[in-house]
Amino acid sequence: MTTEIEQRKSDHINVVLNTDVRSRKSTGLEKVIFEHVALPELNFEKIDLTCTFLNYALNAPFLVSSMTGGLGIAKHINETIAEVCQDQRISFAVGSQRIALENNQNDGLNKHIRRLAPSIPILANIGAGQLNFLNNSGSLFRLIEMIEADALIIHLNPLQEVLQSSGDRDWSEILKQIEISARSIDVPIIVKEVGFGISGRVAQQLWNVGIKIIDVAGSGGTSWAAVEAARAPNFLQQNVAETFRDWGIPTAESIKMIHELNCGMMIIASGGLRTGLEAAQALRLGASIAGFAAQLLPAAIEGTSSLTNAILKLILELKITAFCTGSASISELKKARLI
């Protein structure tokens, strides 16, 4: 089973890198149009993009989000991301730790990651389908201890799982397992989708069981239905998966629904974000952190220089958006006037 999962994770990286698997539906962020301020009355160099996340001071409200949980190249990817995120003082989430947990081959998902990134938030990651076993065995703590994580991401991917030949199809009582997890560990739990969005109704259910942070991971970016279609073992599964390529809640709509709950939920915006401008649009809708994944994967594979340049581009684009909306800080950008 572990070998099969390893192959699946490897397939995922290869497909995302070499195949067009984006949703044909947009994120909806293009509808957020800032009013241009021709007289910003600001010194561009003094614009402050800093924020606080999980008690860390960050240089920008960015998260390099979960990309890979496989072996082999995953070690290089995770170490590169950790080094660059530490250097740029932004947060970092590892991919699924399932393989590392099941066969004790952490392949880079160990405390070396924390040594590379001692002063930024590092987020552990596991699929919701594994929670029953983890809660019953007490293994949930190992995910945190393995990389000295500051929080745990539990990712929701029911559509992706049901499209896989041997995916996790029993999703009964997952909410109960999330609640048990939230009560069991002493770091925050972040619940995220993988690219199909989280509705306001589901966010409220999660809030009710103790979840305070949600990563919407909405549609408009990588479609994991399209990924599964690309690696399907037969014509039937390929066609069924392709049917759901554009499934999901657009990222902008998911942010908006959760923000309008007014319950205090912290929102991480991910799902198709490509630029610092789109990060600004997501922040204006109510997000606190903007997450990037597939957008940065090629640069992460190329190495630290390429990834650094990609992140500096995002930071510069966010800063220019702040400047041209007359916003001296992230808090002001969140209130910038819209058309």
DSSP 181: H
CA proximity to 217, closest of 331, 140, 294, 145: 294
Q: Given the structure tokens 């259910």, which residue do they identify?
A: 205
Which residues neighbour 180 within 8 Å (Cβ) at sequence distance 6 or greater?
131, 135
**SS3 call for 173:** coil
Extract the tokens encoding 178.
Answer: 């999330």
Chain-centroid distance, C-alpha 97: 15
Q: What is the pLDDT of residue 214?
A: 98
Q: What is the pLDDT of residue 90?
A: 98
Position 74, amino acid: A
Q: What is the pLDDT of residue 81?
A: 95
Beta bridge partners of 48: 329
Asked whether the beta carbons of 223 and 21 are under 8 A apart, the reply is yes
Q: What is the pLDDT of residue 209?
A: 97
Burial of residue 1 (CB within 10 Å: 0-12, 13-18, 19+) is exposed
Q: How many CB atoms lie within 10 A of CB 115?
A: 11
pLDDT tens, per residue, the chain with 339 residues: 556 666 666 676 777 777 888 999 999 999 999 999 999 999 999 999 999 999 999 999 999 998 765 556 778 888 999 999 999 999 999 988 888 887 665 556 788 999 999 999 999 999 999 999 999 988 899 999 999 999 999 999 999 999 998 888 999 999 999 999 999 999 999 999 999 999 999 999 999 999 999 999 999 999 999 999 999 999 999 999 999 999 999 999 999 999 999 999 999 999 999 999 999 999 999 999 999 998 899 999 999 999 999 999 999 999 999 999 999 999 999 999 999
| d(C-alpha 330, C-alpha 42), whole Å | 14
CA angle, residues 289, 159, 121, in degrees to nearest 5: 25
Q: What is the pLDDT of residue 39?
A: 98
CA angle, residues 231, 274, 25, in degrees to nearest 5: 60
| d(C-alpha 332, C-alpha 339), whole Å | 16
Q: What is the pLDDT of residue 17?
A: 73
| d(C-alpha 82, C-alpha 92), whole Å | 7
Q: Which domains does the chain have, with CATH numbers?
A: 2-333 (3.20.20.70)
Q: How many CB atoms lie within 10 A of CB 243?
A: 12
| d(C-alpha 29, C-alpha 251), whole Å | 7
SS (H, E, C) 302-316: HCHHHHHHHHHHHHH
